[in-house]
Homo-oligomer: A and B are copies of this chain.
Amino acid sequence: MVYLTRREHFNGAHRLANPSWSEEKNVEVFGKCANKNWHGHNFDVFVTVKGTPNPDTGFIINAHDLAKIMKREIVERLDHKNFNMDVPEFQNVLPSTENVVQQIWKWVVPHIKGCQLHCIKLVETENIYVEYFGE
């Protein structure tokens, strides 16, 4: 079992606020992240798959195929987007990094063939990242 990880990059805007709470409570809980006019980040996303190398290629997955999946399923959906406004899956779900990383798993997992999806890691700043292993 070998693990292979590939990185992609996207930029986005979001706002953290619970619509059923008052503005005061949102600022108290989410601080500057509740700014009504949005803020944004450069996100790095790492997808890790695991499997046995194919004897003909030495690959557990062709990295070019994994790149295509990541660009189509993650980057096209999130890059230069406002997560709250432009992404259907976050219409009724807070786009916290914890929730975004789980959604990325759901987008990617049906497309991984011949090996298994192991982990999605989402880096929000150099000081914060989240990981999700599918359960």
Which residues of chain A have a CB within 8 Å of any CB of chain B?
1-9, 11-14, 16, 18, 21, 29-33, 35, 37-42, 53, 56-60, 62-64, 79-82, 85-86, 93-99, 101-102, 125-133, 135
Q: Is the CB of A131 within 8 A of B5?
A: yes
Which residues of chain B are near A62, meaning CB under 8 Å? 29
Instruction: Name the contact of A9 in the complex, choosing from B5, B60, B95, B125 (C-beta under 8 A).
Output: B125
Q: Is the CB of B37 within 8 A of A85?
A: yes
Q: Is the CB of A80 within 8 A of B16?
A: no
Q: How far is the CB of A83 from chain B (nearest CB, A)?
A: 10
Q: Is the CB of A4 within 8 A of B128?
A: yes
Instruction: Name the contact of A94 in the complex, choosing from B16, B32, B58, B93 (C-beta under 8 A).
Output: B58
State the CA gap A133–B36 with chains docked (Å). Answer: 34
Which residues of chain B are near A37, meaning CB under 8 Å? 13, 81-82, 85-86
